[in-house]
Every structure is written in structure tokens, then in C-alpha cells.
Structure 1
Amino acid sequence: MNFAVVEDSRSQAEVLKALLKSEGHQVEIFAEGKPCIEALKTRSFDFFVIDWNLPDIGGDEVLKQIREHCGWDVPVLFCTGRTDEEAAADILRLGADDYVPKPIRYMEFLARVQSLLRRRKPRPATLQFGNIEIDLEGRRIRLCGLDVELTQREFELAVILLRNVGRVLSREELLTSVWSREAGVDTRTVDTHASRLRKKLGLAGESGLMLSSVYGQGYRLDTVQPA
């Protein structure tokens, strides 16, 4: 699952990220609400964890934008220092699925995340990005309506890149997500597979997407005008 954590306390955000990654999830941190809202235009998230009080805008505004862009099937969990009944009612009334009070009890936090994931409705089995269509159930990818032959690892890498358009993904993050802890695999494997995907899926701009290597960081997929 791809999580967005909107939390201005860096230390708190890093703890939540570590907890979620220990459960096998991907996590992107936003220190303010507006960058998260902007990311909704190009990236796909499966779950949101939001601090009620943010430096730039209120958590309620972030929630409103999430519901407008992502619908009501994506779980939203709030973290808040307000524990009174009125605050809890406000949070849930505005469209949040649940909340945890601060200071966060981490075992309870994970339990609430797992509970919401169990209740989560299935997301669409087909995703469209530019001229690329992904059949998640059939594990197939089509470019301009034609099937593209990919290995299992190429498919998994493509899905992660396509679900994170505009975001720099480090080689280490990609390696962990796709190859887990396979022996004898290093970051050069990521480079090899990225190069293959660039050719097979037209990620040099032909498909409406450009896969770029970001020096010293990793890879970023961006939308462009088809070549």
C-alpha cells in the first residue's frame, strides 16, 4: 500500500513512516497540507494519515481535497491532540474514517490502520496513465492498446513508478519494494530494469510519460506531451 503521511513534526512523521514500512507499506511524508493536495493531481495513494493541525492549512481542507480527488473509498486516519467528544465528532462528521489521539500509542495506531484496511473497498482493477493501461488482476500492461510483454519484476517496478508520477523514488526504495531481500541483487538491477521499461513502455516521451534518472537520488516519472 502507498501511504501519505501529512505531519509537520519531522520526528513524529519518521516514526510513523518506520512503523508503516515495517508492515511492508510505501510511505511519502508531507510536512504541510498544500504539497499533499498538489501531489493528488499526479500520484496515487491508498491511505492517508493526517495531522489535524498543520502549519499552512487545516487538516479539514486536506480531507476535503482528498475526498474530491480520491473519492470515499480511500481510508483517512487523523492524528489529533484534541481528545474531547466534540472534536472527535467533528473529525468523523467531516469524512474521516477514524482518528488516534496524541501522543500516539503506536500499537493502537497500527491496529487502527489494519482495521481500516480490512474494511477498505477494492480499488479499480484497471489503471490508465497516458497511453499506458495496467490490468492489475491480469498483471498485464498495454501500450496504445497493445499488450507489452514484461517479466514479473518489470511489471512490479512499472506499477510502482506509475503510481508515483512526479515523485523521486530512490534506488534503495525500489530495490526493497520489488526485490525485497533477494540475495545477490543490488541497485544496478534497478538501473537495468528501468532501462528495459523505458524501451518497452515508451518512457522516453512516446507514451506521454518520461522516466528520468535523477543524479545521486533515483528515478522520477513525469507526464509530458507524447512525442
Structure 2
Amino acid sequence: MNFAVVEDSRSQAEVLKALLKGEGHQVEVFAEGKACLEALKTRSFDCFIIDWNLPDMEGSDVLKHVRQTCGWDVPVIFCTARTDEEAAADILRAGADDYIPKPIRYMEFMARIHALLRRRKPRGGTLAFGGIEIDLESRRIRLAGVDVDLTQREFELAAILLQNIGRVLSRDELLSTVWARDTGVDTRTVDTHASRLRKKLGLAGESGLMLSSVYGQGYRLDTVQGG
């Protein structure tokens, strides 16, 4: 998943980034709220971690813009040095899903992240990433507005990759998810289908997305800056 960390403390932001990347997530750090809002014009994020007090604007203003731009299904967690009950109520009333008091206890932080992601509603309908648009209900996928002809398994593999951008998915996980009812297939099947998708959907960067093989682990689909 793709996380946005909005935190002006560089050391704090780097620790959070390392924790999340250790779980296979993609992380982009912003030292100011305005930089995050500017990024939202061209990029999408699956979860936001925001400092309540930022140097250029209030964290609540960042949250308001996130809700207007990304909707209410995207999890938002605030980090704050204020630990009083009134502060907690203000943060939650503003539309945050949860908050973490500073100094951050990192095991608790990751546990809260996992809990939020478990509760997150599965995404349905139409999703758009870079030049790719996928309709999960009608099972159609387009590249630059043109329908792409995929087999059933190719579509299912594309769907799981697109719903987990920035996350490393193991070959065994992909095999058990996409080919659960098939017998006599092995991880080489995943490699073959991944190669086909890379060509059909421009996943070497042409579409704004890059499908990479992570040595010894599996595959990861990432957005390409400026794509």
C-alpha cells in the first residue's frame, strides 16, 4: 500500500517510513502540509499519517482536504503531542480514524495501522492508476482509454496487483489467490502471467506503473513519478 507521512520532524518521519517499508509498503514523506496537498493533484495514497501541528498549516486542514479529495474510506491517523481528552475528541471529530500520542510507541503504532487496514472496506467499482482503468464489477480493463483483452486469470492477477500498489506480493500468495481452484500449476505460472501483463498493460513504466520482480520474494507494482 502507498502511505503518505506528513511530519516535519525528519528523524520521526524516517522512523515511521522505515517501519512501514519493513512491512512491504511504499512511503512518501512530506515535511509540510502544502507539499502533501500538492502531491494529491497527481498521486493517490491508501493511508495518511499526519502530525497534528505542522509548520505551515493545521493538520486538521490537511485532513479536510484529504477527505474532500480521497473520500472517507481512506484511513487517516494523527500523531500528536497533546494527550488530553479534549485533544483526542477534537481529532476524532475532525474526521480522523485514530490518533497516536507522542512520543510514539512503535509497536502500538504498527498494531493500530494493521487494525485500521483490516477494517478498511474492500474497494469495488472502478479504479484508476496512471493510464490504467479497471472496473472490478464488469471485469473490464482499459489502457489509455482502450479496452485490453485479458484472460480470466490475467484479469484477476491485474486486479490484485492494482489493489495492492506498493506492496510486495509473494508468488505463493498470488498463486493461492488467483489459481486457488486450479491444480497442477506452480509459481512459474505466476511469472508467465506477470510477463504477459507487463506487455499488455505497459507495466514497464509506459502506463505510469512499474511491475517489478523482487528477488526471492515476489512482485511489486509501483507508481512511476511523473507517469
Match of 2:59 in 1: 59
Residues 48-92 of structure 1 show CA distances to partners (whole Å, capped at 9, x for unaligned) of: 100011111110100000000011111110000000111111101
Structure 1 letter corresponding to 2:70: C
Q: 2:226 aligns with which of 201, 212, 222?
A: 222
Shift of 1:201: 9.4
Residues 101-158 of structure 1 show CA distances to partners (whole Å, capped at 9, x for unaligned) of: 0000001101111111121112234213576322468986323342155979x959x8
Shift of 1:177: 4.1
Match of 1:77 in 2: 77
Please give the residue correspondences for 1:1-227 in structure 2 after superposition, counting only pairs within 5 Å: 1-128=1-128, 132-135=132-135, 141-143=141-143, 144-149=145-150, 155=158, 159=162, 177=168, 196=199, 203=206, 220-222=224-226
Q: 2:133 aligns to what SS in structure 1? A: strand
Alignment CA distance shift 1:177-1:103 (3 Å): same
Gaps (5+ residues) in structure 2?
172-194, 211-221
Q: State how far apart, in whole Å, the 2-side matches of 1:128 and 1:219 are.
A: 12
Q: Structure 1-normalised TM-score?
A: 0.67
Alignment CA distance shift 1:81-1:211 (3 Å): closer
Alignment CA distance shift 1:178-1:141 (3 Å): farther
Q: State how far apart, in whole Å, the 1-side matches of 2:226 and 2:63 are.
A: 25
Q: 2:226 aligns to what SS in structure 1? A: strand
CA contact (8 A) 2:37 2:65 kept: yes
Structure 1 letter corresponding to 2:64: K
Structure 2 letter corresponding to 1:121: K
Structure 2 letter corresponding to 1:80: T
Q: State how far apart, in whole Å, the 1-side matches of 2:149 and 2:82 are.
A: 51
Alignment CA distance shift 1:202-1:94 (3 Å): closer
The CA RMSD measured in Å over matched residues stands at 3.7
Q: Structure 2-normalised TM-score?
A: 0.67
Structure 1 letter corresponding to 2:98: D
Q: State how far apart, in whole Å, the 2-side matches of 1:137 and 1:20 are.
A: 31
Q: 2:57 aligns to what SS in structure 1? A: coil
Q: State how far apart, in whole Å, the 2-side matches of 1:123 and 1:219 are.
A: 18
CA contact (8 A) 1:132 1:201 kept: no
User: Number of matched residues?
Assistant: 189
CA contact (8 A) 1:139 1:155 kept: no
